[in-house]
Structure 1
Amino acid sequence: MKKGPLLVVVVMTLLAFSFRPYHHGWANYDQNKTLDYVGTVEAFTFENPHATARVKDKKKTWLVILAPTSRMESRGVPSDKIVKGSKLRVVGYPHKKIRDEMRAERIYVDNVKYELR
């Protein structure tokens, strides 16, 4: 057997076992503590792996992790209506370790509910 193909197989195998993709994981959010508030959008990002929004609720600004953009679109979330200064109702769960981060289960835009999960 030639060393070239064997080397490729060995390298690919090592990469497959050593590669750990970055993802925060939903287990990091406390599903026993539901947050439900209306806040003001300070920033909105519609890009993968998840859309995000910075939403100010009273004195606290949350980094709200939304759904992937494909799910946002398939659920009919009007991304063009989530703009800086708009009101957004967010229902979701706080991160267990990151104090100002939460994962949204659903959002309300102009009083219309959008399920994100």
Structure 2
Amino acid sequence: MRSSLKLAAFSAVIATPALAHHGWSAYDSSKAFVIEGPVVESSYSNPHGSVFLQHGGQRWEAVLAPPSRMSARGLKEEDIAVGKTVKVEGYPSNRTKNEMRVERITAGGKTVELR
């Protein structure tokens, strides 16, 4: 009995990070769209980066890739800094209004594939 309690506790600890992270199934890949606007907030941190941008009079959260992938593909932190204009292409969230998962971003004069 005791070992089953330990196993249950261990399983709960392992599953917790997965619950906190966005699942890609939360985005509708049948509804690709593009928005462009100025960055009003930016994060180049784990588990993934993000930019908040103004578009159409609304604030959008664009979920990016992990910093290691962005860096490897040539997207620098300064490319998505507050005040820069970016174009993001991706899929809308099924759960959160004005949130999207980004497949590619155009920033700093270049287009970068994130997935």
Q: TM-score, normalised by structure 2?
A: 0.86
Question: Identity over aligned residues, as a percent?
Answer: 33
Alignment deviations for residues 68-94 of structure 1 (CA, whole Å, 9 cap, x no partner): 111111111021121111110100011
- Residue 11 of structure 2 is aligned to residue 17 of structure 1: yes
> Cα RMSD (Å) of the superposition?
1.8
Aligned residues: 111
Partner of 2:111: 113
TM-fit CA distance, 1:27: 0.6
TM-fit CA distance, 1:35: 1.6
Matched ranges for 1:1-117 at <5 A: 12-19=6-13, 20=15, 21=18, 22-117=20-115
Larger radius of gyration: 1
Q: TM-score, normalised by structure 1?
A: 0.85
Ranges in structure 2 where 5+ consecutive residues have no aligned partner = none
Tell me which amino acid in the other structure corresponds to 1:66: L
